């Protein structure tokens, strides 16, 4: 005798997907409001506090989103980590260039 699945309720799945769609739509709307705020942008750098996405569309002139380019949200927890790594990499490269220039000037 074949066993029936323990949980098989299409009605529950339909209700769950409808509620999930509404929740996802509310997140998308909240993220869009933060993304459109000019105070979230520092040039091409994005600091969208309240935006839950790590990768966001790049902003073009006129406030439109770029269809292909993405930038990191530096207020996202993983974005903060990426920001620290970028700052450290730039600092190390500036120090290396400084050491190279001083060695060249000593000769």
The domain segmentation of the chain, as residue ranges, is: 10-106
The confidence score (pLDDT) of residue 2 equals 61
Whole-model pTM: value is 0.67
Q: Please write the tens of the pLDDT for every residue from 29-87.
A: 999 999 999 999 998 899 999 999 999 999 988 888 888 999 999 999 999 999 999 99
Report angle CA 60, 55, 95 to the nearest 5 degrees.
90
The confidence score (pLDDT) of residue 13 equals 61
Q: What are phi and psi of 41, to 5 degrees?
A: -110, 135
Contacts 24+ apart (CB under 8 A), 50-58: 50/75, 51/75, 51/76, 52/27, 52/76, 54/78, 54/79, 56/31
pLDDT, the chain, mean:
86
């Amino acid at each position: 005798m074949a066993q029936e699945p323990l949980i098989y309720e299409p009605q529950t799945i339909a209700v769950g997907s409808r509620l999930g769609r509404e929740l996802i739509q509310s997140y998308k709307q909240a993220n869009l409001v933060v993304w459109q705020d000019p105070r979230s942008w520092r040039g091409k750098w994005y600091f969208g506090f309240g935006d839950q996405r790590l990768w966001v569309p790049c902003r073009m002139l006129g406030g439109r989103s770029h269809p292909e380019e993405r930038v990191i949200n530096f207020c996202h927890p993983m974005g903060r980590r990426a920001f620290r790594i970028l700052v450290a990499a730039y600092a190390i490269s500036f120090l290396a260039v400084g050491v190279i220039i001083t060695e060249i000037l000593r000769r």
